Structure 1
Amino acid sequence: MSAQELGALLADASQNGAYFIDVRDREGLEEIARGLGFAVAAIDFAGCDGRDEVLERFAAALRFPEWFGGNWDALADCLGDLSWWPADGYLLLLDHAGAWRVSEPFDFATLLEILNDAAMSWSAQRLPFWALVPLSAAALDEVLEPG
Protein backbone atom coordinates (compact mmCIF):
# COMPACT_ATOMS: atom_id res chain seq x y z
CA MET A 1 0.00 0.00 0.00
CA SER A 2 1.39 3.41 -0.93
CA ALA A 3 1.87 6.25 1.55
CA GLN A 4 -1.03 8.07 -0.08
CA GLU A 5 -3.30 5.03 0.34
CA LEU A 6 -2.20 4.60 3.96
CA GLY A 7 -2.92 8.27 4.59
CA ALA A 8 -6.41 7.89 3.14
CA LEU A 9 -6.97 4.81 5.31
CA LEU A 10 -5.80 6.54 8.51
CA ALA A 11 -7.97 9.58 7.72
CA ASP A 12 -11.06 7.37 7.29
CA ALA A 13 -12.71 7.39 10.72
CA SER A 14 -15.04 4.57 9.68
CA GLN A 15 -11.99 2.28 9.86
CA ASN A 16 -11.05 3.27 13.45
CA GLY A 17 -9.96 0.51 15.77
CA ALA A 18 -7.19 -1.40 17.47
CA TYR A 19 -5.02 -3.40 15.09
CA PHE A 20 -1.92 -5.56 15.13
CA ILE A 21 0.70 -4.43 12.61
CA ASP A 22 4.14 -5.53 11.52
CA VAL A 23 6.71 -3.63 13.57
CA ARG A 24 8.49 -2.74 10.31
CA ASP A 25 5.49 -0.57 9.33
CA ARG A 26 5.44 1.39 12.60
CA GLU A 27 7.65 4.35 11.64
CA GLY A 28 5.93 4.88 8.30
CA LEU A 29 2.48 4.90 9.87
CA GLU A 30 3.62 7.29 12.59
CA GLU A 31 5.07 9.64 9.98
CA ILE A 32 1.88 9.57 7.91
CA ALA A 33 -0.28 10.20 10.99
CA ARG A 34 1.83 13.19 12.01
CA GLY A 35 1.54 14.52 8.46
CA LEU A 36 -2.25 14.34 8.79
CA GLY A 37 -2.14 16.45 11.96
CA PHE A 38 -2.82 13.54 14.29
CA ALA A 39 -1.75 13.52 17.90
CA VAL A 40 0.59 10.54 18.25
CA ALA A 41 1.44 8.78 21.51
CA ALA A 42 3.78 5.84 21.98
CA ILE A 43 3.01 3.74 25.05
CA ASP A 44 6.03 1.55 25.83
CA PHE A 45 5.02 -1.76 27.40
CA ALA A 46 8.61 -3.01 27.81
CA GLY A 47 8.97 -4.54 31.27
CA CYS A 48 5.32 -4.02 32.25
CA ASP A 49 4.36 -6.33 35.06
CA GLY A 50 0.69 -5.56 35.49
CA ARG A 51 -2.40 -3.57 34.71
CA ASP A 52 -1.54 -0.72 37.08
CA GLU A 53 1.76 -0.10 35.32
CA VAL A 54 0.04 -0.17 31.91
CA LEU A 55 -2.47 2.42 33.12
CA GLU A 56 0.35 4.61 34.49
CA ARG A 57 2.13 4.45 31.14
CA PHE A 58 -1.04 5.42 29.28
CA ALA A 59 -1.57 8.33 31.66
CA ALA A 60 1.98 9.58 31.15
CA ALA A 61 2.06 9.13 27.36
CA LEU A 62 -1.30 10.82 26.78
CA ARG A 63 -0.82 13.39 29.55
CA PHE A 64 -4.11 12.44 31.21
CA PRO A 65 -5.68 15.05 33.48
CA GLU A 66 -5.34 14.84 37.26
CA TRP A 67 -8.80 13.31 37.58
CA PHE A 68 -7.63 10.07 35.90
CA GLY A 69 -8.60 7.34 38.36
CA GLY A 70 -6.04 4.69 37.40
CA ASN A 71 -8.49 1.93 36.47
CA TRP A 72 -10.04 0.50 33.31
CA ASP A 73 -13.17 2.68 33.58
CA ALA A 74 -11.07 5.82 33.97
CA LEU A 75 -8.97 4.81 30.94
CA ALA A 76 -12.16 4.43 28.91
CA ASP A 77 -13.37 7.83 30.12
CA CYS A 78 -10.11 9.55 29.18
CA LEU A 79 -9.85 7.87 25.77
CA GLY A 80 -13.42 8.92 25.04
CA ASP A 81 -12.72 12.55 25.95
CA LEU A 82 -9.21 13.77 24.94
CA SER A 83 -10.40 17.40 25.18
CA TRP A 84 -7.04 18.38 26.69
CA TRP A 85 -5.30 17.10 23.54
CA PRO A 86 -7.14 18.49 20.50
CA ALA A 87 -6.05 17.08 17.15
CA ASP A 88 -7.29 16.10 13.70
CA GLY A 89 -7.03 12.45 14.72
CA TYR A 90 -5.24 10.14 17.14
CA LEU A 91 -2.68 7.38 16.74
CA LEU A 92 -1.66 5.32 19.75
CA LEU A 93 1.32 3.01 19.33
CA LEU A 94 1.46 0.18 21.87
CA ASP A 95 5.17 -0.55 21.61
CA HIS A 96 6.78 -3.71 22.97
CA ALA A 97 3.38 -5.09 24.04
CA GLY A 98 4.08 -8.67 22.95
CA ALA A 99 5.38 -10.02 26.26
CA TRP A 100 2.64 -8.34 28.31
CA ARG A 101 0.02 -9.62 25.84
CA VAL A 102 1.24 -13.17 26.40
CA SER A 103 1.68 -12.91 30.19
CA GLU A 104 -1.60 -11.04 30.84
CA PRO A 105 -4.02 -12.20 28.13
CA PHE A 106 -7.18 -11.25 30.08
CA ASP A 107 -5.97 -7.72 30.80
CA PHE A 108 -4.71 -7.37 27.23
CA ALA A 109 -8.13 -8.39 25.90
CA THR A 110 -9.76 -5.85 28.24
CA LEU A 111 -7.41 -3.15 26.96
CA LEU A 112 -8.22 -3.99 23.32
CA GLU A 113 -11.93 -3.85 24.11
CA ILE A 114 -11.54 -0.39 25.69
CA LEU A 115 -9.48 0.83 22.74
CA ASN A 116 -12.00 -0.49 20.22
CA ASP A 117 -14.91 1.05 22.15
CA ALA A 118 -13.12 4.42 22.14
CA ALA A 119 -12.40 4.02 18.43
CA MET A 120 -16.08 3.38 17.69
CA SER A 121 -17.09 6.39 19.75
CA TRP A 122 -14.67 8.61 17.84
CA SER A 123 -15.83 7.05 14.57
CA ALA A 124 -19.37 8.26 15.31
CA GLN A 125 -17.87 11.75 15.60
CA ARG A 126 -15.95 11.23 12.35
CA LEU A 127 -12.59 11.67 14.06
CA PRO A 128 -9.83 9.14 13.29
CA PHE A 129 -8.64 7.12 16.30
CA TRP A 130 -6.20 4.27 15.85
CA ALA A 131 -4.46 2.02 18.37
CA LEU A 132 -1.73 -0.04 16.74
CA VAL A 133 0.18 -2.92 18.31
CA PRO A 134 3.45 -3.37 16.41
CA LEU A 135 4.66 -6.97 16.58
CA SER A 136 7.51 -8.92 15.05
CA ALA A 137 6.64 -10.94 11.96
CA ALA A 138 6.71 -14.18 13.98
CA ALA A 139 4.45 -12.79 16.74
CA LEU A 140 2.12 -11.31 14.13
CA ASP A 141 1.83 -14.72 12.46
CA GLU A 142 0.88 -16.24 15.84
CA VAL A 143 -1.83 -13.62 16.35
CA LEU A 144 -3.23 -14.01 12.86
CA GLU A 145 -3.02 -17.82 12.80
CA PRO A 146 -3.39 -19.02 16.42
CA GLY A 147 -2.85 -22.62 17.34
Structure 2
Amino acid sequence: MSEDLTGRFPVALDLDGVGDKAGLMDRVARALALPDWFGRNWDALADSLSDQTVWPEGAVEQGLLIVVRGWQAYAEARPEEWRTAQDVFTEAADRTPSLAVVLALGRSS
Protein backbone atom coordinates (compact mmCIF):
# COMPACT_ATOMS: atom_id res chain seq x y z
CA MET A 1 0.00 0.00 0.00
CA SER A 2 1.45 3.38 -0.94
CA GLU A 3 0.51 6.64 0.65
CA ASP A 4 -0.07 9.83 -1.35
CA LEU A 5 2.45 12.37 -0.10
CA THR A 6 1.47 15.05 -2.60
CA GLY A 7 0.85 18.45 -1.08
CA ARG A 8 2.59 17.87 2.22
CA PHE A 9 4.93 20.51 3.61
CA PRO A 10 8.44 19.20 2.79
CA VAL A 11 11.39 19.47 5.16
CA ALA A 12 14.83 18.16 4.21
CA LEU A 13 16.75 16.50 7.02
CA ASP A 14 20.32 16.22 5.73
CA LEU A 15 22.43 13.87 7.83
CA ASP A 16 25.54 14.12 5.66
CA GLY A 17 28.52 14.34 8.01
CA VAL A 18 26.57 13.35 11.13
CA GLY A 19 28.63 10.96 13.23
CA ASP A 20 26.61 10.46 16.39
CA LYS A 21 23.27 10.89 18.15
CA ALA A 22 24.09 14.45 19.26
CA GLY A 23 24.73 15.43 15.67
CA LEU A 24 21.49 13.80 14.56
CA MET A 25 19.52 15.67 17.22
CA ASP A 26 21.16 18.98 16.25
CA ARG A 27 20.26 18.45 12.59
CA VAL A 28 16.66 17.57 13.43
CA ALA A 29 16.35 20.59 15.70
CA ARG A 30 17.72 22.86 12.99
CA ALA A 31 15.73 21.34 10.10
CA LEU A 32 12.43 21.57 11.99
CA ALA A 33 13.29 24.81 13.84
CA LEU A 34 12.44 23.08 17.12
CA PRO A 35 12.24 25.23 20.25
CA ASP A 36 15.27 25.70 22.51
CA TRP A 37 13.69 23.42 25.11
CA PHE A 38 13.88 20.41 22.73
CA GLY A 39 15.51 17.73 24.93
CA ARG A 40 17.76 16.15 22.27
CA ASN A 41 16.96 12.57 23.32
CA TRP A 42 14.92 9.83 21.69
CA ASP A 43 11.74 10.45 23.70
CA ALA A 44 11.90 14.19 23.04
CA LEU A 45 12.42 13.51 19.34
CA ALA A 46 9.38 11.22 19.18
CA ASP A 47 7.29 13.77 21.07
CA SER A 48 8.43 16.69 18.89
CA LEU A 49 7.78 14.84 15.65
CA SER A 50 4.25 14.04 16.86
CA ASP A 51 3.56 17.50 18.30
CA GLN A 52 2.07 19.65 15.56
CA THR A 53 2.42 22.77 17.72
CA VAL A 54 6.19 22.74 17.09
CA TRP A 55 6.00 21.93 13.37
CA PRO A 56 7.06 24.58 10.85
CA GLU A 57 4.41 27.09 9.85
CA GLY A 58 2.25 25.64 7.09
CA ALA A 59 2.94 22.02 7.98
CA VAL A 60 -0.08 21.61 10.25
CA GLU A 61 -2.51 22.48 7.47
CA GLN A 62 -0.74 20.44 4.79
CA GLY A 63 0.81 17.60 6.73
CA LEU A 64 4.56 17.25 7.21
CA LEU A 65 6.89 15.31 4.94
CA ILE A 66 10.41 14.84 6.30
CA VAL A 67 12.86 13.69 3.65
CA VAL A 68 15.96 12.21 5.28
CA ARG A 69 18.99 12.30 3.02
CA GLY A 70 22.67 11.62 3.53
CA TRP A 71 21.81 9.04 6.20
CA GLN A 72 23.81 6.08 4.87
CA ALA A 73 27.20 6.89 6.47
CA TYR A 74 25.57 7.50 9.85
CA ALA A 75 23.62 4.25 9.56
CA GLU A 76 26.81 2.36 8.78
CA ALA A 77 28.89 4.00 11.51
CA ARG A 78 26.21 3.81 14.23
CA PRO A 79 23.84 0.97 13.29
CA GLU A 80 22.20 0.68 16.73
CA GLU A 81 21.55 4.42 16.94
CA TRP A 82 20.24 4.41 13.38
CA ARG A 83 17.83 1.56 14.17
CA THR A 84 16.59 3.56 17.15
CA ALA A 85 16.18 6.66 14.98
CA GLN A 86 14.18 4.64 12.45
CA ASP A 87 12.01 3.27 15.26
CA VAL A 88 11.38 6.81 16.52
CA PHE A 89 10.50 8.05 13.02
CA THR A 90 8.14 5.10 12.55
CA GLU A 91 6.49 5.52 15.95
CA ALA A 92 5.93 9.24 15.37
CA ALA A 93 4.45 8.65 11.91
CA ASP A 94 2.20 5.89 13.27
CA ARG A 95 0.93 8.23 16.02
CA THR A 96 0.51 11.19 13.69
CA PRO A 97 -1.13 10.35 10.35
CA SER A 98 -0.30 13.79 8.91
CA LEU A 99 3.44 13.06 9.35
CA ALA A 100 5.48 11.07 6.86
CA VAL A 101 9.20 10.36 7.04
CA VAL A 102 10.94 9.03 3.95
CA LEU A 103 14.54 8.01 3.35
CA ALA A 104 16.09 9.38 0.18
CA LEU A 105 18.31 6.94 -1.67
CA GLY A 106 21.41 7.98 -3.55
CA ARG A 107 24.05 10.52 -2.72
CA SER A 108 23.34 13.65 -0.76
CA SER A 109 24.49 16.74 -2.61
Query: Percent sequence identity over matched residues?
Result: 29
Aligned to 1:40: 10
8 Å contact from structure 2 (residues 75, 82) kept in 1: yes
Bigger radius of gyration: 1
Aligned to 1:118: 92
Letter in 2 for 1:10: D
- Note the residue ranges of structure 1 that are not aligned, 5 or more in a row: 1-5, 12-32, 137-147
- Note the residue ranges of structure 2 that are not aligned, 5 or more in a row: none
As a proportion of its length, which structure holds more helix? 1
Deviation digits for residues 15-46 of structure 1 (CA, Å, limit 9, x no counterpart) = xxxxxxxxxxxxxxxxxx4xx1x221111111
- CA distance in 2 between counterparts of 1:71 and 1:110 reads 11
Aligned to 2:76: 102
Taking the TM superposition and a 5 Å limit, the aligned residue runs for 1:51-130 are 51-85=21-55, 86-123=60-97, 127=98, 129-130=99-100
Structure with greater contact order relative to length (CA < 8 Å, sep ≥ 6): 1
8 Å contact from structure 2 (residues 48, 54) kept in 1: no
TM-score (norm: length of structure 1): 0.64
TM-score (norm: length of structure 2): 0.84
Specify the SS of the correspondent of 1:49: coil
